[in-house]
């Protein structure tokens, strides 16, 4: 499927930059900083040690695909990105309760609401843009 010939919307550029920045921070952090390297969070639960390091490239791939897809104007990325952000919101809620480093379900709920709000904003911005196109 080819990218659209219309210019990339501003919000897709912003999302591409965010995904790239997450990559630029995550890869060195996961490779060179032991405190970060030793923990990855999946579905709100912490993977530690070698399992964390082994699964970190999955996070890198998710953000690399997001950066490429948003930068190249692929519209199929929008529902995938919204789904990933909703997943992250739920994971924050679970992590806040399940992890000894969490701050309890109340804080997790506030985080989840804020993150889910971003998912809603992304969905509405994309939908508005597609209606206007």
List the chain pLDDT tens, one digit each, 133 residues: 555 566 899 999 999 999 999 999 999 999 998 888 889 999 999 999 999 999 999 999 999 999 999 999 999 999 999 999 999 999 999 999 999 999 999 999 999 999 999 999 999 999 998 887 6
* 113: in domain: yes
What pLDDT, on the 0 to 100 scale, is given for residue 2? 54
Output the pTM of the full model.
0.88
Q: Hey, CA dihedral for 47, 53, 58, 59, is it positive or negative?
A: positive
Q: How far is CA 122 from the centre of its chain?
A: 12
Q: φ and ψ at 39, to 5 degrees?
A: -140, 130
* 74: in domain: yes
* 89: in domain: yes
* 2: in domain: no
CB 94 within 8 A of CB 108: yes
* 47: in domain: yes
Domain count, the chain: 1
- The C-alpha atoms of residue 67 and residue 108 are separated, in whole angstroms, by 27
What pLDDT, on the 0 to 100 scale, is given for residue 87? 98
* 4: in domain: no
* 103: in domain: yes
* 117: in domain: yes
| Structural domain boundaries enclosing 43 | 10-132
């Amino acid at each position: 499927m080819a990218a659209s010939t219309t210019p990339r919307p501003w919000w897709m550029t912003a999302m591409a930059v965010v995904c790239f920045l997450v990559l630029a921070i995550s890869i060195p952090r996961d490779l060179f900083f032991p405190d970060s390297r030793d923990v990855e969070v999946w579905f709100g639960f912490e993977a530690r040690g070698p399992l964390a390091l082994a699964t970190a490239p999955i996070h890198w791939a998710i953000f690399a695909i997001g950066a490429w897809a948003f930068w190249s104007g692929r519209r199929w990325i929008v529902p995938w990105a919204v789904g990933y952000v909703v997943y992250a919101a739920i994971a924050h809620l679970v992590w806040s309760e399940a992890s000894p480093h969490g701050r309890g379900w109340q804080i997790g709920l506030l985080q989840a609401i804020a993150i889910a709000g971003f998912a809603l904003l992304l969905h509405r911005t994309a939908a508005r843009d597609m209606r206007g196109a």
